[in-house]
Chain A
Amino acid sequence: MKLLVCISKVPDTTSKINFVDNNTKFDENGVQYIVNPYDEWYALVRALELVESNGGSVTTITVGTTADDPTIRKALAIGANDAVRIDAEPTDAYFVAKQIAEYAKNENYDIILTGKETINYNGAQIGGMIAEMLDIPFVSLATKLDVNGNTATLERDVKGGVEVIEVNTPFALSAAKGMAEQRIPNMRGIMAARTKPLNVVSPVEQDALSSVVKFELPDAKSGCKYIEPENMDELVELLHNESKVL
């Protein structure tokens, strides 16, 4: 089984979010980068589990610069066999999806896995775009994945319940919580990761179809109004008359 896992770097979940250059750029000052949790905890770990039980290989792919190499090495330390980096500054989702689809189209991967979204852009776009570009099915927000020969069984949360679906390889999916448990790399994995192949590939031409004009921070709350725990009638009255949500 040949699996491709899309990996992106994102600011650590505890990062303070600020912007510089007239609110056009993310302030990287003091920010630690990690592998996007959805890519790492769910997509990558489930891919590794499948290969451990069925045989095969797990390749990670990233569109980025040398600044991405530490997070790529982390994914290799967790257990991926090798990594590909498309050497380009990612501009928008379409650009990233195009690069990955172009690379993947001749490689015959059985499953292309992405996290359900990145925790910085929250776009949830890459997986579906890759699937369309390669004309393969896309299972979004999968919470469970099992493979038997060429057929995969997946589960995903839908309105009113959980859908159990079957799809033949090749296909793409986005992984949500529930698919696997986070793995902490051990020392042996970290040592091995240093010498695993990281192939740097040139990008293909693609204009960005979207761009961020500026960022803003949400309005701060004006302050908390405290209510005595005995006065729940007062709270209901405030929710009705003052904030008008009841």
Chain B
Amino acid sequence: MSVVVFVEVKNKISKAAMEAVYYGSNLGTVNVVTFGDASEDALKELGQYGAENIWVCRNLSEANDQALSRLIAAAVEKANAEFVVLAQNQTGKAVGPRIAAKLNAGHISGAIDLPDTSNGFVVKTNVYSGKAIAHVALHSDKKVISILPNSLAPQQNQKSGNIEDFNPDLGSNGIVVKELKSQGDGVPLPEAELVVSAGRGLKGPENWGIVEDLANALGATTACSRPVADIGWRPHHEHVGQTGVAIRPNLYIAAGISGAIQHLAGVNGSKVIVVINTDPEAPFFKAADYGIVGDAFEVLPRLTEAVKKFMASQN
């Protein structure tokens, strides 16, 4: 079975790329397709996770949805592939459906596990904003699967990882990127393994220092609840929940968030949830692994000190 795995690579390979290549290597022979100025060293590393061939389109520099779907389609043709695997991130959400429509393929967007092939081809995916899981069967000859970040533990599976230039005709592009307003190079929320989040219990945007201190001590990404984003204390892209970003980090620490059902929907895929709240009746405690009934203004700085002490002891 032949598989095309699409990844984005810069100077090093992301966990999302490792997950996609590892997933693909469980389906068949992996032909990675990528674009831009990816470094050779980073590309070689993909071989460790199961890439047989690595095709690089150096002529394309931007993640343009039309050009990328043509690039992936050309790779599918070259490899005579049955599967396309990619990450369910910003680019994957733009390109996955396009390539599925182009190939007449059924599409799983957000696979959380390897497929069950005991009876057909069935993949698990989160539905109802994380409140349920659907087992979805694909009936088409070609299949497009995008993987929800942090769903798999990619394992090493050394293959040759031959790197080749691949520059098919990509036609014209409709979208022109005029500007990138940088927000630093922190880990984006959906891919973050550790997340520290806070809500209205923090009383005002000026108090976010204690949240950021803990996040910095852990190397975590910060997030917030919907009301906090809506009143402008924090930027919209930090809002996790049903109508914001859905995340599944290894550790989610929530301070001063009561845990409305819409918030839980966005975070209940987290492996471990720590809840800090002054109200022992806060519904979030029911979804928590560890609970601290206490004032975030006292607990967060104390936790930050404990984390720093722990980190120092690990070095």
Contact = CB atoms under 8 A, between A and B. Distances in A.
A209 B93 contact: no
Contacts of B139: 207-211
Nearest to B299: A229
A208 B104 CA distance: 11
B93 A218 contact: no
A229 B129 contact: no
A72 to B, nearest CB: 21
A78 interface: no
Residue among B110, B134, B135, B177 having the largest count of chain A Cβ atoms under 10 Å:
B134
Given A171-B174, A218-B132, A227 B292 contact: yes
A159 interface: yes
Contact of B93 (A140, A224, A239): A140
A41 B105 CA distance: 31
A228 B298 CA distance: 12
B42 to A, nearest CB: 15
Contacts of B99: 132
B201 interface: no
Interface in A121-173: 121-133, 136-141, 143, 153, 156-168, 171
A238 B289 CA distance: 11
Given A177-B244, A210-B106, A120 B94 contact: no
8 smallest A-B Cβ distances: which pairs? A128-B97, A229-B294, A137-B174, A209-B106, A132-B101, A140-B94, A232-B306, A210-B106
A133 B244 CA distance: 28
Contacts of A218: 130-133, 268-269
Query: A interface, how many residues as a size bin?
Result: 35 or more
A184 interface: no
14 contacts: A125-B100, A143-B236, A159-B188, A160-B186, A161-B181, A164-B178, A164-B180, A171-B174, A209-B104, A210-B139, A218-B269, A224-B275, A224-B285, A245-B271
A240 interface: yes
Given A224-B289, A235-B274, A235-B292, A128 B98 contact: yes
B143 to A, nearest CB: 9
A185 B97 CA distance: 33
A109 interface: no
Contacts of B177: 163-165
Chain B binding site: helix, strand, loop or mixed by DSSP?
Answer: mixed
B261 A93 contact: no
A244 B145 CA distance: 30
B108 interface: yes
Contact of A159 (B90, B127, B244, B286): B90
Contacts of B63: 158
Given A210-B107, A235-B292, A236-B307, A166 B101 contact: no
A126 B107 CA distance: 11
A177 B303 contact: no
Contacts of A159: 89-90, 188
Interface in A158-197: 158-168, 171, 174, 177-178
A43 interface: no
B138 A210 contact: yes
A50 interface: no
B305 interface: yes
Contacts of A157: 90, 237
Given A221-B289, A229-B292, A235-B292, A119 B237 contact: no
Given A37-B243, A143-B236, A162-B183, A156 B90 contact: yes
Contact of A119 (B69, B129, B306): B129
A33 interface: no
B100 A94 contact: yes
B197 interface: no
Contact of B132 (A137, A215, A228): A215
A217 interface: yes
A140 B65 contact: yes
Interface stretch (A11-19, A54-62, A80-88): A11-19
